[in-house]
Structure 1
Amino acid sequence: MTISVKVPDLGVDAAEVIELLVKPGETVKKEQPIAVLESDKASLELPAPEDGVFVSWSVAVGTSVKEGDALCVIEVAGADAAEAAEKPAEAKSEVASEPKASAEPVQEAKAPPTAKPAEPKVADKPAVVSVAETAPSKAVHAGPAVRRLARELGVDLAALPSGQGPNGRLLKEDVHTWVKSRLSQAPASGGGSGMNFGELPPEPDYTKWGEITLTPRSRIQRKSAENLARSSLMVPQVTQFDLADITELEAFRLTQRDRFKADGLSLTMTALAAKTVAYLLREMPQFNASLSRDGESLVLKQYVNLGIAVDTPNGLMVPVLHNADRMSLREIAEQLGVLAEQARSGKLPPAAMQGASFTISSLGGIGGTAFTPLVNWPEVAILGLSRASKAPVWNGSAFEPRLQLPLSLSYDHRVIDGAAAARFTTRLAALMADIRQLLI
């Protein structure tokens, strides 16, 4: 008999079909991956629920699907066929994205093709729109994803006309279109340039100067770009630079490296930095906070969840060490290894990328002397680590070679001032110079 395979619970409102792995007529085995879906921050492999012969697809590459939608038809045999037809395939594995701590769910409903407006450019999306002159709030017909987008952009949904969805339901396109229209009405800015805030000059015709190649970006890369653009517009950011003398810390790492390796673990400087930062965030909780939307309150978090940026073939992803302040160094090293491997192999669960309260981005394995990481809103700070190098340091009587680790702390200047940032990096450098202080 034939069964219709349904889309399982994705953990997000919807996802896009990016790859179909089998063709009609092929034999499939239970748990064999048959399709790959991609949401804003994760890719999911969907397995076959039973052994059988693949009959047909109910979707195509590029189709947006949600839980319960028909995925495909498989011809199976045996007593379990009827039972298999009743339950959707289970997602076998999932993969993250970029860093953000702050990704948007995929649109849960589609507008009619004839009514769908053009997608606004990335630069148009992140702006915060004032709603002081809008009508008083009233009941609106919109889903959770649309309401969340409206909150992030500062839009009162009551100010929007009826949406393009069924029965006037508001969609994300309606919010983006309204924001773009308000920006186009804003006073000209930029020192008399005549350009309205949020507008970009026309894109040049690059082919006039030679051949070009268009390379599509993954959904993860696109959403990361949107989040970073939003953060750069919303958050007044400053970066504090410092150096940490990690000569003794590196010596300690080398003495413990083989013990960790014997257990299949890798003791990296990032793990040691994460342990130190988790401790320091308890001392200086304003760096582990968020600013409320109205700017009247500071949300002080009673947990320390560290986002750790990971470079992967699919782009930058930021898995999260939840409750890092409660972990031992060995637990941090173990969890970092698991999350990094899941991110690089395409099996990182969406839940592993959510809830970060502070982020660490390390480029030490690549190089560089310093950089300016962007704060991952709604976090208020991010720490960048560059490659450590030896430098002569005066000890009071002579110069001696010391291993120096460059620190780059970017922070939200609305929450953290320069003095606090300098105290943070100074204290962090002191802790890393003598990690035994974490025992006090």
Structure 2
Amino acid sequence: MDFKSLIISLLFAILAFFPTQVTAQTYNWHTLEAYGSATERHENALVQAGNKFILIGGRGMKPVDIYDTQTNEWTEGAQPPFEIHHIQAVELHGLVYVVGAMTGGWPYETPLSHILIYDPVLDKWGTGPEIPENRRRGAAGTVVYNGKIYVACGIINGHTSGWVSWLDEFDPKTNLWRELPNAPRSRDHLHAAVVDDKLVVAGGRRSGYGGGGFETTISETNIYDFDTGEWTELPSPDGDIPTERAGIAAAVHQNNVVIIGGESGSQQTAHNEVEVLDISNGTWESLPSLNRGRHGTQAINVGDMLVVGAGSGDRGGGPELTSFEVFSNIENPEFPNNPLTKAELTVSSESISFSGGERGGKEVILSSQNGNQASLISYIQLDNTTDFELDLPMKTPFILAPGQDIPIDVTWIRNRSGDSEATLFIKPLGNAEPLSVEVKAIQ
């Protein structure tokens, strides 16, 4: 090997040994190119669904603001049914879920009783399944892992008390909630992130602890391993978040967890610090700071980029911001083109019939096909419950994912003489007419 080849080989070896450090130096925060502007807000959510960045909620009644990644244009969408804030929303199969959120005014805000679901294709809000009464809270970390939604920590009583260490799993395909082991520490005003098979919880505070507010921040980092079902706490001080703060945003960049912005008792202005946890060794490093410090908002990762915007510029309630930033290695990057297509709902039969000698029920299969977006099924019901009985695998409302089938069983009760008939109605979210199945029974 000649001298030149030896030098090139050594350089590649150095780059391979320090991937995060070298790559991070090429990235910086750039202003998001946009036509128009989003509505100023804080304690809001920001998610990506298909080709849209969707800005949701915040203090007061705020419309949905929608950024089209292909045209760089902001437009206004439907307003939520009521005020929602202190959210980390998530996207799954093209629907946006609001789970660990609150409503109402400071300091005694109320956790949501039901999941709220926003359909960006229809630009409509729907009410999803009920949240178990003993697990309701807001200002929690919410993530998606393997098609299920996980809610970590949070607070029950607004900004006064009731910070919890809970971890819950919600499966949209079955409508089932499951309680998982508690985290080592309770905290609220956090966002969470998932890398590989690990859920990372860092930052946050215990609002109202000892009568305190901004200064009750938490330094320790907790990690839940989905494979083992166990929590661990990273050893201090290397595993502690370098800048203690709450009201943070969390995202994943280059397979590590990034904590962005926040608020604390140490300064009046919102934090602009951006710090990354190296999952492989449990240590933290600094990344380039935000151009504008902010808290009370959410970040999303798009390929190898991060996007964050809105939020509050000072700790507490203002000023509310409209600016957006992209963490990228180039200015004005192009975003991938991944449009959403609403899946088609079909039934296996448009009619079912019973005759006098038949026993048992008849089955109709509801299917979701030919699309990449799930549907919220608002209700399934019969218009004649005297002669027929309905059996569903789960309570409505529920989510039907793309490619998913569910059986609907109809039983003829036969509690009176004569022929009977009914119509089975299946209603998805939106203005479309319900799917219908004619049901007949002949004595």
TM-score range, shorter chain: under 0.3
Structure with greater helix share of residues: 1
Structure with greater strand share of residues: 2
Q: Normalization by structure 2: what TM-score?
A: 0.22
Larger relative contact order (CA 8 Å, sep ≥ 6): 1
